A and B are shown apart, each in its own frame.
Chain A
Amino acid sequence: MTGAPSLGGLVATFSTMSLFAIGGANAALPEIHRVAVTLNHWLTEQQFADAFAIAQLSPGPNVLIVTLIGYQAAGLAGALVATVGMCGPSATLAYLVGRLLGRAGQSPWPGIIQAALVPLSIGLMAASGLILALGSDRSVAAMALTATVAVLAAVTRVSPLWLLLAGGVLGFAGVV
C-alpha cells in the first residue's frame, strides 16, 4: 500500500473523469487505470483486474468499479466519494441538458454529436480491453477463455452472468 490519497483528491479525480467518460464507465477505464494504478499507485495491476471482475459480477451499473477503487484507495469514505464524484457531475449535466432539450425534436445537433462520439467511445472501449488484457499475467488458456467468451457473447444471446460464472468455475478448477 502507498499513502492514502486525500478525499478531496479523489473527488477531483473522479469528477473530472465523469465529464470525460464518453460512452460510459467502460470507456473511462483506461483513464481510471492510468490515474489509479500508473500515476498514484492506489491499487496494483492485480487489484485493478479484480475490481473490474467484481464490478461485472455485481448487480447494478458497472460504473460501480469506482466504488471498489475508492475503497481500496481510502476506505469507506473513499468508496462513497469516488462514486458520487464519478456520477455527480455527469448526472447534473444530464439533468440540465434534459431540461434544455425537453423533447429534442427538430435540431440536428444531438444526432450529429452522437454520430461523432460513437467511434470515439468504441476506440476507448477497445483500449480498455487491451489495457485489461495486458495488465494481468495471461496464460494461453486464459487468452482462449477471453476469446471464447468474446465470440459467444458477440454471436449468441447467452446471459453475460453465465459466462462470468463459467469463467469463475474454470478459474476455481485451475484451468485458466
Chain B
Amino acid sequence: MALIDAPEREAEDAAAAPAAPGLGELFVAFAKMSLAGFGGVLVWARRVIVDQRRWMTADEFNETFALCHFLPGPNIVNLSVVFGSRFRGIPGAIAAFAGLLGPPLLIVTLLAVLYAHYGELETLRRILAGVSYAAIGLLFAVVFRMLMPLLRKRDPVAIGLLVAVFVAVGVLRLPMPWVLAVAVPFSIAATYLLRRRTA
C-alpha cells in the first residue's frame, strides 16, 4: 500500500519549551485543576497546561485530548495519564492520576458519609432534588452542543446510529456492552467506507 501522506517531522523548539514538570509538580498541578473544576475539569486543565505553565502548545493539547476522547473511560483521567507519562514515564502518569483523583475523592467520600447520615432530612431532600433537576438540564445542554455539528453535516449514518443507540440503551434499556459490541464496529466500518468514497 502506498503511503499517501509523508510523515511530517515537527521541529522541536527546545529553546522555547519550559522544563518538564517533576513528579511533585505534576501532582499539585492536577490536584489544583481538579479542585477548581466544578462542572468540568477540562477547561482548567487547558488553562494550566497550555496558558499558564506552557507545558504543551494549543495544538499538542488538542491532539492529546482527541486521543483521550476516543479512548473509553473518563476523558480527563485519560488525559492526566497520557500527559504525566509523556514527561515522566509511569511515575509521572501515577503522579498526575493521583493528583487529579485523590483530593476530590476525599471530598466526595466525605459527602457520601454525610449523605448516608443526613440523606433522609426533608430539607436536604428538597435541595438535592432541585440540584438534580438542574444537573439533568446541564446534561441535555451538553448533548445539544455536541449534536449541532453533527446535524449540520447531515450525515444520515451518524444520526441513525445516534438514535439507534439512544433507543436501545435509553428506551429499551438493553445492556450497554452488547449495544456497543454491535454499534462500534458498524460505525467504524461505515465511517471508513464513507471517507474512502469521498476522498
Contact = CB atoms under 8 A, between A and B. Distances in A.
Is chain B a partner of chain A in the same complex? yes
Interface in A112-137: 112-133, 136
B89 to A, nearest CB: 9
Interface residues of B, number: 99
B10 interface: yes
A160 B38 contact: yes
Contacts of A116: 184, 187-188, 190-192
A-side interface size class: 35 or more
Contacts of A122: 143, 146-147, 150, 162
Interface of B is mostly: helix
Given A57-B131, A120-B165, 13 more contacts: A19-B73, A53-B135, A56-B131, A58-B104, A61-B104, A98-B85, A110-B70, A116-B190, A129-B139, A136-B132, A150-B137, A150-B138, A163-B138
Interface of B: 3, 5-8, 10, 34-41, 63-64, 66-78, 80-82, 85-86, 90, 93, 97, 100-101, 103-105, 107-109, 111-113, 115-116, 119, 123, 126-147, 150, 158-159, 161-166, 169-171, 173, 175-177, 180, 183-184, 187-188, 190-192, 195
B74 A21 contact: yes
* 4 closest cross-chain pairs (CB), A and B: A171-B130, A90-B73, A60-B104, A167-B134
